[in-house]
Amino acid sequence: MKNTLIRFSPFQLYESTSFEEYLSDMSMKGWLITKVTNAGFLSFRREAARRRNFSVDIFSKAAVSDASPEGKTADYIELCKGAGWEFLCGRGKMLIFTSADEHPVPIQTDEEQRRITIYKEAWQKIGLWTLTVALYFVLFSFMLGDSSFGYSVSKYSRISVVFSSIFAVLGCLQFILDFAVFRIGMQAKAKGKAKAKDGGVVEYCGYCMRTRLWVRRILYLTCFVGVIAAYLSLYFESDIHIHVLIKALVLGLVLFLLIALYLRVIRKQVKQIRTEFIALCGAFLIAGCFLMPYAADVIKRDFPGGDGSGITYDTGVQADKDAAASIADWFEFAGNDQQTFLASYKTAHFQYRDMISGDTIGSRYAVFSSSFAFVLDQYIELAQKADDLTRDTMWNRSWGSDAVYVSTGDTWTRYLVRYEDTVIDLQIHGTLSEEQMMQIRERLYPEQV
């Protein structure tokens, strides 16, 4: 026969009476509660079946949730002990007592004050939940809607938004359902419809409890799937580099350690760290996700030639725009002054001189470090020239590249050339001949020629 039982508790703070009845019912079956976790799981131990009186009390000044309360909570427990109430366990501000007396004096004899305290704590919890959800939606709306944010997450990460929305809706539904059940139960009691079992235990609504438990199971499963989907999509589908993810996770770990340090040194709640380890790990993962934009911005600034404003990887410096320079001159400049090149963060600007005709063609190019598909999406979105995109066969022959797209503006011709693992965005006046394309290739990738 097992001596430990784990059950999931759907009771809210304002359902302390139902919770007491449930505990009394369990004690008559030979189970005594020993622990309440933050996730709402109840731990019972085996004992001789007998009827016990329980009191689920809300102590507003409680600041600990483990089995060794300190300070004012310990004083309060000591006072209750003097009145015949033995402290069993607690979670947050909820303290659970039991009394061996047949008719003990209730811990709270002022019913009105008790109701005020419970409702106040319940509404604070609801308010915190609502604030968290609102903050969450604001953050995601900002990330997905603001094009100046610097980068955009993968389109597939919208799956995480869907799951997160379901999670938020189910969370609100859970609160509404719980409160509705509570109100219905109160009205049933007031009208005398509640049934009484042996020993005076009033039957709580078993059907509603099963429904509420299922809502919670779906809620947690949705949350779990949503978080996994978010991380998988960010890793496989977005243009964020792996070291950006690592940096975000490191920042999350730092946040986790700061929380642990605060709890250990300032609050001296060693046991709380152990018992809430799972919740802290969840906070660490969520923090890593939220801190990713910051990490991405930091990593972009560290890129050689990165302009710090987007995913462009620039390899040149702003040359004197009035000086007629050839590609050879530009490359010489970049080659001789690497320090300036690295610190400049300017888009390359050079002029290509056709050595045969003598015409000068102003050009600008940038080399992207991101995936080609992402760059193309950015180009379509920013340039809004999706209708002008066509495949250029000449670039294919000259460079042997896999995909080339061309956009023709009023005075500029723009090429997006994917060559091996880089993408070049080349904007030039007029058009380039096949020979000129080969010369550019030789300059950019001399080792490949």
Partner 1 sequence: MAREQFQTLSEPMYYILLALTKPCCGVDIMKRVQEISHDRVSVGPGTLYALLAKFESSKMIQEIAADGRKRTYLLTNKGRETLEEEYIRLTKMADEGKPMLSSEIFPEVKL
- Contact positions toward partner 1, by CB under 8 A? 57, 59, 74-76, 78-80, 82-83, 85, 105-110, 113-114
Quick one: how far is CA 351 from the chain centroid? 46
* Least distance in angstroms from the C-beta of 74 to partner 1: 7
User: What dihedral do alpha carbons 74, 77, 79, 85 form, nearest 10°?
Assistant: -160
* Least distance in angstroms from the C-beta of 87 to partner 1: 11
* Least distance in angstroms from the C-beta of 57 to partner 1: 6
Which one, 15 or 314, has the nearer CB to partner 1? 15
Which one, 80 or 170, has the nearer CB to partner 1? 80
Which one, 68 or 187, has the nearer CB to partner 1? 68
Residue 62 contacts residue 116 (beta carbons within 8 Å): no
C-alpha 257/C-alpha 85 separation (Å) is 38
What lies within 8 Å, CB to CB, of 284 at 6+ separation is 252, 253, 255, 256
* Least distance in angstroms from the C-beta of 79 to partner 1: 5
Which one, 113 or 390, has the nearer CB to partner 1? 113
Which one, 96 or 229, has the nearer CB to partner 1? 96
The CA angle 266-270-276, to the nearest 5 degrees, is 105
What lies within 8 Å, CB to CB, of 405 at 6+ separation is 376, 379, 389, 390, 391, 392, 415, 416
Helices (H) and strands (E) in the chain, counts: 13, 13
Which one, 108 or 130, has the nearer CB to partner 1? 108
Angle between helix 277-302 and 242-261 (nearest 10): 140
* Least distance in angstroms from the C-beta of 76 to partner 1: 6
What lies within 8 Å, CB to CB, of 273 at 6+ separation is 260, 263, 264, 280
* Least distance in angstroms from the C-beta of 77 to partner 1: 9
DSSP string of 406-418? EEE-SSEEEEEEE
* Least distance in angstroms from the C-beta of 182 to partner 1: 21
Pick the closest to residue 164 from 286, 281, 284, 38 (CA basis). Answer: 286
Which one, 110 or 420, has the nearer CB to partner 1? 110
C-alpha 430/C-alpha 230 separation (Å) is 44
Residue 417 contacts residue 406 (beta carbons within 8 Å): no
Which one, 6 or 79, has the nearer CB to partner 1? 79
Pick the closest to residue 251 from 300, 285, 224, 282 (CA basis). Answer: 285
* Least distance in angstroms from the C-beta of 111 to partner 1: 10
C-alpha 80/C-alpha 311 separation (Å) is 63
C-alpha 176/C-alpha 359 separation (Å) is 74
Which one, 83 or 261, has the nearer CB to partner 1? 83
Q: Give, as one character, the DSSP assignment of residue 84.
A: T
* Least distance in angstroms from the C-beta of 247 to partner 1: 49
Which one, 5 or 63, has the nearer CB to partner 1? 63
Residue 64 contacts residue 269 (beta carbons within 8 Å): yes
